Amino acid sequence: MAKIIGAVTTSHIPAIGMAMDNKLEQTPYWKPFFDAYPPVRAWLNEKKPDVVVIFYNDHGLEFFLDRKPTFAIGTAAQYLNADEGWGINTIPPVTGETELSWHIATDLVENEFDITICQEMRVDHGLTVPLSLMWPGHAYGHVKVIPVCINCERYPMPTPARCFKLGQAIGRAIESFDQDLNVVLFGTGGLSHQLDGERAGFINREFDIDCMNKIVTAPEELTKLSNYDLMEIGGAQGVELNMWLAMRGALTGNITELHRNYHAPISNTGAGLLLLEHEH
């Protein structure tokens, strides 16, 4: 059977990709951020997951304001990246996974989660920056990726509670798949940030640390928040916490926190990194 062996949360901001493109990792600004990643890379290289399910939000590359699925999943054999206008180099094609992704998609629709199924989709920085961070030098080709995309750009957006339930349904679907695969989950984005308007640059460190603690030990408490709460407390783009909540919903067994880092600001954002091991 497929097994979820762990999960990683990480920031996905475009400036991280640009810093890697320009080899700025050891400059004073970036060092406290990048120095937190080697233990996570080492864990991934040791555990060698067959599949990574990535919960992320598409910022307009594939789904713009005219067509916005609330939830979408990719079932393609390959995903292409493209220029989003942020100045990051585009990355080589990402390998997809066609059997487990179809199993998840089918299971969700049969169990009242009407997710949009994408047999072709371009993947944006929400997915590509975390891949580049975990496997520098674009060394991710051997990992099969299943993109799960959650709307947090355009009103109306799914609530934190609903995103958590999506994760629970995806967790059940993964663990009912009859191939022996090791699966790791990524939840990308967050934590507090606001990119526009009067509060542009707003960051709430206390809230970010509280979110990191509760994601590990009491995620149900975070599901009581509304998206309005998240925007007020964590900035307009603080709703990206929903990606972390969906990821966390899929972890129904015992989890052990192996590693964490919090650094702010990186660009306009509080950057939280967590590595969680999962077993039943």
Q: Which of residues 214-253 bind ligand DHB (CB under 6 A)?
A: 237, 240
Q: What is the spatial distance between Cα 94 and Cα 139, in angstroms, rounded to a whole number?
A: 10
Query: Which of 14, 158, 234, 249 contacts ligand DHB by CB under 6 A?
Result: 14
Query: Which of 3, 59, 260, 263 contacts ligand DHB by CB under 6 A?
Result: 59
Residue 97: closest CA among 36, 141, 56, 45? 141
Query: Based on CB atoms, which residue is closest to ligand DHB, 15 or 100?
Result: 15
Q: Which residues contact 35 (CB under 8 A, 6 or more apart)?
A: none
Our answer to whether residue 193 is catalytic in this structure is yes
Return phi, psi of residue 10, to 5°. -155, 155
x/- mask, Fe ion, residues 182-201, rule CB under 5 A, reads: -------x------------
Task: Report how far apart, in Å, the C-alpha atoms of 272 and of each of 41, 75, 178, 187 are.
Answer: 16, 29, 34, 11
x/- mask, Fe ion, residues 201-230, rule CB under 5 A, reads: ------------------------------
Query: Based on CB atoms, which residue is closest to ligand DHB, 2 or 239?
Result: 239
Minimum CB distance to Fe ion, residue 150 (Å): 11
Q: Is 263 in the site for ligand DHB (CB under 6 A)?
A: no
Q: What is the spatial distance between Cα 166 and Cα 277, in angstroms, rounded to a whole number?
A: 20
Name the DSSP letter for residue 240. G
Minimum CB distance to ligand DHB, residue 190 (Å): 8
Q: Are 170 and 4 a contacting pair, CB within 8 Å?
A: no
Query: Which of 194, 204, 261, 268 contacts ligand DHB by CB under 6 A?
Result: 268
Our answer to whether residue 278 is catalytic in this structure is no
Q: Are 160 and 230 a contacting pair, CB within 8 Å?
A: yes
Q: Is 269 in the site for ligand DHB (CB under 6 A)?
A: yes
Catalytic residues: 125, 193
